Chains A and B, each alone.
Chain A
Amino acid sequence: DTGVSQDPRHKITKRGQNVTFRCDPISEHNRLYWYRQTLGQGPEFLTYFQNEAQLEKSRLLSDRFSAERPKGSFSTLEIQRTEQGDSAMYLCASSPSGYYGYTFGSGTRLTVV
């Protein structure tokens, strides 16, 4: 297993455009998490899935953000009408059910110009 994969690694977009990121978790992990990290800060929780069900969303996840995990495998995070404040590293993590550590991907770095 190659771990958690995120695509793309880098994305530059113009303000107002929509962007979509993909996360492929470790295959046997049924929990999947999205985090956002800005420079000098720790990662901030956005949302998590157990299988295909989205069980929690942070207040940080405005209505411009939507996440899906249609078949309980890969997940996508879409940001509509991007703003400069959306510039950040978007991290995905997965874990098995129960009390285990998370495995993080290397992230997608978004720059909104």
Chain B
Amino acid sequence: DAKTTQPNSMESNEEEPVHLPCNHSTISGTDYIHWYRQLPSQGPEYVIHGLTSNVNNRMASLAIAEDRKSSTLILHRATLRDAAVYYCILRDGRGGSQGNLIFGKGTKLSVKP
């Protein structure tokens, strides 16, 4: 399985932007980059995904390097509610069992008031 590497933890101040990095040097051409987050005592929550181009939605932006070997999840203005573990996952676009989500340990984001 293709793997991702994320920092164990990061800190941010409230209302400031947060850039969460992810390295995936062995990404294949059919792998999509997915981000999920998990708030305390809850199940993971889908955030965003992309293949090659940068993506924006109401929750976040995803910036993908030109060689696709790294990506960055951007929270434009962190709030206390964004404190969570953020998972960067490669998911095979061919679907089937190859498309199941395989989680790593993620990055624990702390947000200070």
Q: Say whether B42 contacts A42, CB under 8 Å.
A: no
A103's partner among B46, B85, B100, B106 (CB-CB below 8 A) is: B46
How far does the alpha carbon of A52 sit from the alpha carbon of B44 in the complex, in Å? 24
Interface string of A16-52 (1 = CB under 8 A from B): 0000000000000000010100001111110010000
A106 CB-CB contact with B under 8 Å: yes
Determine which residue in B85, B87, B101, B105 has the highest number of CB atoms from chain A within 10 A of its CB, and name it.
Answer: B101
Task: Tell me which residues across on chain B come within 8 A of A101, comparing CB atoms.
Answer: 34, 36, 46, 49
Question: Which residue of chain B has its CB nearest to the CB of A101?
Answer: B46
Q: How many A-B residue pairs have CB under 8 A?
A: 53
Q: Is B93 an interface residue (CB 8 A)?
A: yes
How far, in whole Å, are A43 and B42 apart by their CA atoms in the complex? 12
Size of the chain A interface, CB-CB below 8 angstroms: 23
CB-nearest residue of chain A to B91 = A99
- Residues on B with C-beta less than 8 A from A102 are 36, 44, 46, 101
Task: List the A side residues contacting B97 at CB < 8 Å.
Answer: 48, 55-56
Contacts of B85 in A (CB 8 A): 42
Residues in A whose Cβ lies below 8 Å from that of B49: 101
CA A104 to CA B32, docked complex, whole Å: 19
Query: In whole angstroms, what is the CA distance A93 to B97 when docked?
Result: 15
Instruction: Answer whether residue A98 sits at the interface, using C-beta atoms and an 8 A cutoff.
Output: yes
Are B101 and A44 within 8 A (Cβ)?
no
Could you tell me which residues of chain B, from 33 to 91, have a CB within 8 Å of some CB in chain A?
A: 34, 36, 41-46, 49, 85, 87
Q: Indicate if the CB atoms of A42 and B43 lie closer than 8 Å.
A: no
Cα A56 to Cα B98 in complex, Å, equals 10
A68 to B46 CA separation, bound complex (whole angstroms): 25
Confirm or deny: B104 has a beta carbon within 8 angstroms of a beta carbon on chain A.
yes
Supposing A56-B97, A98-B95, A99-B93 touch, asked if A42 and B46 sit within 8 A by C-beta, the answer is no
With A and B bound together, what is the CA distance between A98 and B93 in angstroms? Answer: 9
Please tell me if A67 contacts chain B, counting CB pairs below 8 Å.
no
Bound Cα distance A69, B105 (Å): 29
B53 vs chain A, min Cβ distance (A): 16
